[in-house]
Amino acid sequence: MSSNHRVLINTEKCIGCGACVSDCVSSCISIENGKAKAGGEGCIACGHFEAVCPEAAVVLTGFEEESEGFNAQTRLNPQELMKAIRTRRSIRNFDTKDIDREIVDMIIEAGRLAPTGSNAQNTGFIVLDKSKQELERNAVKLFRSLTGIAKPFSKFLSRVEIDDNFFFKKAPLVIVLTGNSVNASLAAENMALMAEANGLGVLFSGFFTVCANNVPKIRKTLALKRGEKAITTLVIGYPNVKYYRTARREKANIRKV
Ligand SMILES: Cc1cc2nc3c(=O)[nH]c(=O)nc-3n(C[C@H](O)[C@H](O)[C@H](O)COP(=O)(O)O)c2cc1C
């Protein structure tokens, strides 16, 4: 646990129920003399002890936000969720209409709240702002030069046209996620779902992510630190395309062992 955080136990409020002990992943909390006691190395500051305490007796300090109480966890309707998943499409044709600041914040918030291995919370969100056009121009330049070389080897590249909007498709919002691949991907999917819940469409731009990691000029504009990796790029905007039916998919590759 980072030194910014401390576990505070209010022994007046603690009823010694042990819910925090049962829910602690790293055995960093115990019951002594009928009261919770924090201690030991290895706490990952996941905050479960705070979330699970019925008496609000345990607090993890050092965050800008407060813990919010709630009575019942909100569950999405499974049929509605499946329908949303089934009818989602990658969007490659966007309206240029801007996205309200509150919606952008909500999308990033959905990413921030995604689970991270060992509670690392190590996903970075780079929102392309003034440099968006310049970044796309540089990426387009590179791809045009590369496709010349790669065309004889790739059927896809021999057909694809690298137009000026090849990467961002005129979408108003582009966010590059950095960090650990699993963590950033989970954040990205949360963000995509939140964007779609707000009527937006999303494209994961693998092509731009390749540029972000490999073109020094682009790395520099993105202010990527040495060793810092772009994991994925979310291109987000209001769709300028309508789908009428689902796209067929292969059967799930399921193995029972
Ligand atoms: C990690 C990842 C990277 C992708 N990169 C691109 C990309 O650079 N350009 C593009 O047009 N589509 C990209 N796609 C979209 C895929 O082509 C698309 O998901 C796939 O064809 C299935 O279509 P659907 O998303 O509509 O189901 C990417 C998708 C993923 C998951």
Pocket of ligand 1 contains residue 229 by CB under 6 Å:
no
Amino acid at position 92, single letter: R
Higher model confidence: residue 239 or residue 157?
A: 239
Residue 28 CA to ligand 1 center (angstroms) comes to: 42
Which segments of the chain does DSSP mark as H helices, in order?
Answer: 19-23, 48-52, 78-87, 101-112, 132-150, 155-159, 181-197, 206-214, 216-221
Q: For ligand 1, is residue 233 a contact (CB within 6 Å)? A: no
| Residue whose C-alpha is closest to residue 89's, from 241, 198, 252 | 241
Instruction: Delineate the domains of the chain, giving CATH numbers in brackets.
Output: 7-60 (3.30.70.20), 78-237 (3.40.109.10)
- Predicted confidence at residue 41, as pLDDT, reads 81
* Residue identifier of the C-alpha nearest atom 30 of ligand 1: 204
Question: What is the SS3 assignment for 89?
Answer: coil
pLDDT score at 1: 66
Average pLDDT, the chain: 94
**What is the distance in A from the centroid of ligand 1 to the CA of 203?**
7
- pLDDT for 159 equals 80
Per-residue pLDDT tens over the stretch 55-108: 999 999 999 999 999 998 899 999 999 999 999 999 999 999 999 999 999 999
- Section 212-231 average pLDDT: 96
25 lines ligand 1 (CB under 6 A): no
Nearest Cα residue to 209 out of 201, 199, 200, 219: 219
Res 60: pLDDT: 94
Q: Taking a C-beta distance cutoff of 8 angstroms, is the pair 229, 222 a contact?
A: no
**Residue 183 neighbours by CB under 8 Å, 6+ apart:** 114, 115, 116, 117, 120, 122, 123
- The protein residue whose alpha carbon is closest to atom 31 in ligand 1 is 204
Nearest residue by C-alpha to atom 22 in ligand 1: 90
Determine contact, residues 107/190, Cβ cutoff 8 Å: no
By the 8 A CB rule, do 215 and 162 touch? no
CA of 88 to the centre of ligand 1 (A): 12
Confidence of residue 185 (pLDDT cuts 50, 70, 90): very high
Nearest CA to ligand 1 atom 7: 205
Q: Which of 193, 172, 186, 233 is nearest to 87 (CA)?
A: 193
- Over residues 203-229, the mean pLDDT reads 96
Tens digits of per-residue pLDDT, 119-175?
999 999 999 999 999 999 999 999 888 877 777 777 777 788 899 999 999 999 999
- Please give the pLDDT value at position 133: 98
Q: What is the rounded average pLDDT of the residues 236-243?
A: 98
Gap from CA of 207 to ligand 1 centroid (Å) = 9
Determine what percent of the chain is predicted with pLDDT higher than 90: 87
Q: Is 92 in the pocket of ligand 1 (CB under 6 A)?
A: yes
